[in-house]
Amino acid sequence: MQNKPRVKSIAIIPAYNECEKIGQVVSEIRRSAENIDVLVIDDGSTDKTAQYARAAGAKVIRLCTNMGYGVSLQTGFKYAYEKGYEYLVQLDGDGQHDPAYIPDMLKIVISGEADLVLGSRFLDQSATDGRPAPGYKASMARKLGIGLFAFLTTKLVGFKITDPTSGYQAFNKRVLAFLTQDFFPCDFPDADVIIMLNRAGFKIREFPMHMSKRENGKSMHSGIKPVYYIFKMFLSMFMTLLRKTPTSI
């Protein structure tokens, strides 16, 4: 993972009350990919997330109130598109995504091998048969949920998708332009966006990675949110199949 991207690239991090980890995440991104810019979208945090992100060297956009994961992501997408970035990586601010994968993920999209690269917790780096990556642990309910959406996404796109919900992605400017449009889901963009991109003709590939256990902060899937997430994702996937396929800008 030593190759450094030398094109105009940006890493965006949606963050809500992640002051305990955000500085470390930003610093690790800058060490792993020294030529990439870093943007943190502070989703109305009540702690010092924005302050620590700036101190670590990131640009920060601070939303006036908590708008949700999808709004934070698209805020970053629109900023990157307007500033002319050619390639983008999205990752979380809680330290679960290892920034060391950024150069290799960007290399795939820069080469044109894929328009979108999805980080997968369920592809072993040393295996080709889809065995789960060692070390990743989750509750049985969470594994079942991930497996269900992986199964549905695979059936709907026509090729194997093992992890549509990891949230660690890299993509090119064509995908970036596509995701700045009004149809982008404003709460939990996951499997529905993958299906949408596939229907629009974008090339998608998974990339094996390790994902750490969340140590602190509050997950966006806490409380009753998982119930809403499952309902919304089923509805959004269904509507994606019904609507006319959007085109890129």
Per-residue confidence in pLDDT tens, the chain, 249 aa: 455 555 799 999 999 999 999 999 999 999 999 899 999 999 999 999 999 999 999 999 999 999 999 999 999 999 999 999 999 999 999 999 999 999 999 999 999 999 999 999 988 655 444 444 555 566 667 777 788 889 999 999 999 999 999 999 999 999 999 999 988 887 777 888 999 999 999 999 999 998 886 555 555 445 456 666 676 766 667 767 767 766 666
Q: What stretch of H or E contains 82?
A: helix 69-82
Note the pLDDT of residue 29: 97
Calculate the alpha carbon distances from 26 to 109, 190, 216 in Å.
Answer: 22, 23, 17
C-alpha span between 124 and 131 (Å, rounded)? 6
Each domain of the chain, given as residue ranges in start order, spans: 9-242
Q: What stretch of H or E contains 172?
A: strand 169-172
Query: In this structure, what token pair is assigned to residue 68?
Result: 């949700």
Note the pLDDT of residue 3: 52
Beta carbons of 63 and 34 less than 8 angstroms apart = no
Note the pLDDT of residue 216: 57
Angle between helices 102-110 and 22-32 (to 10 degrees): 50
Note the pLDDT of residue 146: 83
Tell me which CATH code domain 9-242 carries.
Answer: 3.90.550.10
